[in-house]
Amino acid sequence: MRFRRQPTALAAALLLAATLAAATGASAFTLEEFRFENPAQEQEFRELTGKLRCLVCQNESLAASQSDVAQDLRLKVYGMMKEGKDKDAIIAYLVDRYGDFVLYEPPFKPSTYLLWIGPFLLILLGGFFLLRALMRKKSVPEQGLNAAEQARIDQLLAAGEDAKDPAK
């Protein structure tokens, strides 16, 4: 069924256009068309599918992915929007089935506290150690040379003087 269609010039042109659109990084839907009642609804659909992750091609959003499963899920999201479900309900529907993984932005909850707060904790910790190191440096008293070191320096300096003046 999927392969029955004859490749026509129009299809070839569409495919080319789709490839070009994909190549330029546009997140446009290239293989299907969804009809919306108003631009706001379309905007919401794009936002929603941009926030959701395709589980097959994991670095792609649901909006950008060409995978078959992504298409099924887009249709599902589209269908639920048509039914009048709001954004949160649609997201909850997908999270219930696919887990938080389907979201690009992980939710803030106990299992992700470390993920969200960790970097700030590390900055604080680093700042603390940096400050401490700086304070300590200042408080270390400058130490003079001991007698043996002074004698060695005098000796080296004297040797240098001798080398400079071979006539002596």
Partner 1 sequence: MARSTARYLVPLGIFMALATLLYYGLSLDPRKVPSPLVDKAAPAFDLESLTEPGKRLNGDILKGRVSLVNVWASWCPSCRQEHGELVRIAKSSDVQMIGFNWKDERPAALEMLQAYGNPYFLSLFDPDNRAGIDWGVYGAPETFVVDPQGIIRHKRIGPIDQQVWETEILPVVEKYRPKG
Q: Which residues bind partner 1 (CB under 8 A)?
A: 1, 55-56, 58, 68-69, 72-73, 76, 95-101
> Min. distance of Cβ 149 from partner 1 in angstroms?
20
Minimal CA–CA distance to 62: which of 90, 96, 84, 23? 90
What are the helix (H) ranges across the chain?
Answer: 9-23, 39-51, 68-82, 87-98, 113-139, 147-164
**Alpha-carbon span 133 to 105, nearest angstrom:** 37
Minimal CA–CA distance to 33: which of 9, 14, 16, 47? 14
> Min. distance of Cβ 150 from partner 1 in angstroms?
25
Nearer to partner 1, 100 or 161 (CB): 100
> Min. distance of Cβ 76 from partner 1 in angstroms?
6
Give the chain's length: 168
> Min. distance of Cβ 68 from partner 1 in angstroms?
7
Nearer to partner 1, 29 or 94 (CB): 94
**Alpha-carbon span 60 to 86, nearest angstrom:** 23
Nearer to partner 1, 99 or 119 (CB): 99
